[in-house]
């Protein structure tokens, strides 16, 4: 297996994925919850994190680069680690994710990590696409 490194997310990590013109969007990810960047050497593979809306509830996000597809086996291992870590470290009873409805691969991928379909949201995202809301629930001792 190829060596992937993970470190705390920095806004500039997202520039190779979303472009410098969207740097402000990348910066906002730092304000609302923890996030991490996946690397292979100097290549950014993906950035992922959780936006915490209130205690016990957050929404996970994942932004992948063109290299992500080349690291599928490693991506599954690290995605599981990041999801579990973010949920457990922040004691999030609920994490949710929105996936573009017609992206069959992304919908299969999110279910692989224990997310369950909740709703179809029509004309939901910034581009007007339909999205599917998924959630993963965990119980924590008080």
Domain range summary for the chain, segments of one domain joined by +: 5-137
In tens, the pLDDT along 108-132 reads 999 999 999 999 999 998 889 999 9
Give the confidence band of 139 by pLDDT, cuts at 50, 70, 90.
confident
Tell me the average pLDDT across 64-74: 88
Q: How far apart are CA 87 and CA 136, in angstroms?
A: 9
35-60 pLDDT tens trace: 999 999 999 999 999 999 999 999 99
- The pTM for the full model equals 0.86
CATH of domain 5-137: 3.40.630.30
**Beta-carbon contacts of residue 16 (< 8 Å; ≥ 6 apart):** 44, 65
CA distance 69 to 105: 11
- Which residue, 108, 81, 113, is CA-closest to 96? 113
Confidence of residue 133 (pLDDT cuts 50, 70, 90): very high
pLDDT of 1: 53
Mean pLDDT of 76-99: 93
Which one-letter DSSP state was computed for residue 140?
-
Please tell me the predicted confidence (pLDDT) of residue 75.
Answer: 84
Res. 140: pLDDT tops 90: no
State the pLDDT at residue 121: 97
Determine the Cα–Cα distance for residues 116 and 120; give it in Å rounded to an integer: 12
């Amino acid at each position: 297996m190829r060596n992937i490194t993970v470190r705390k997310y920095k806004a500039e990590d997202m520039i190779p994925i979303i472009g410098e013109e969207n740097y402000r969007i990348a910066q906002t990810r730092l304000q609302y919850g923890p996030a991490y960047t996946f690397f292979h050497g100097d290549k950014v593979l993906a950035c992922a994190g959780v936006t915490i809306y209130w205690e016990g509830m957050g929404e996970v996000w994942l932004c992948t680069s063109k290299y992500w597809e080349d690291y599928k086996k490693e991506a599954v291992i690290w995605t599981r680690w990041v999801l579990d870590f973010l949920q457990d470290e922040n004691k999030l009873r609920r994490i949710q994710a929105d996936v573009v409805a017609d992206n069959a691969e992304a919908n299969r991928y999110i279910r692989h990590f224990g997310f369950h379909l909740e709703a179809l949201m029509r004309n939901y995202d910034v581009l007007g696409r339909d999205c599917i809301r998924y959630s993963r629930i965990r119980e924590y001792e008080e």
